[in-house]
């Protein structure tokens, strides 16, 4: 478990829809990224650590990342576009 000061966290984005608040946070001292979900109807609050490469996707689709919270991070595949054809090399 990581410990950082509450004042170290910066809110990067937020949105609210139908009683659900989603916020994207970044810690300047550690570089960690979190998405928080607050469901005001059910009274639930969830904090999910995410890889910085997945930050926007996690903000847009937070429920897809809630179940990943206890899993190990998966390695990311790099993709390159072939210069002439525009097809992906994997």
User: pLDDT tens across 20-71, in order?
Assistant: 999 999 999 999 999 999 999 988 899 999 999 999 999 999 989 987 655 4
Residue 79 lies in a domain: no
Residue 87 lies in a domain: no
Give me the domain span that covers residue 20: 6-69
Residue 89 lies in a domain: no
Specify the number of domains making up the chain. Answer: 1
Residue 57 lies in a domain: yes
pTM of this prediction? Answer: 0.67
> CA-CA distance, 79 to 90, in Å (whole number)?
6
């Amino acid at each position: 478990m990581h410990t950082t000061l509450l004042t170290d966290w910066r809110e990067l984005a937020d949105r609210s829809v139908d009683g659900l608040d989603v916020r994207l946070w970044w810690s300047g001292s550690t570089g960690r990224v979190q998405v928080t979900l607050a469901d005001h109807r059910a009274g639930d609050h969830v904090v999910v650590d995410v890889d910085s490469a997945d930050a926007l996707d996690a903000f847009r689709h937070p429920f897809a990342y809630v179940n990943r919270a206890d899993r190990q991070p998966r390695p990311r595949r790099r993709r390159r576009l072939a210069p002439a054809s525009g097809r992906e090399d994997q």
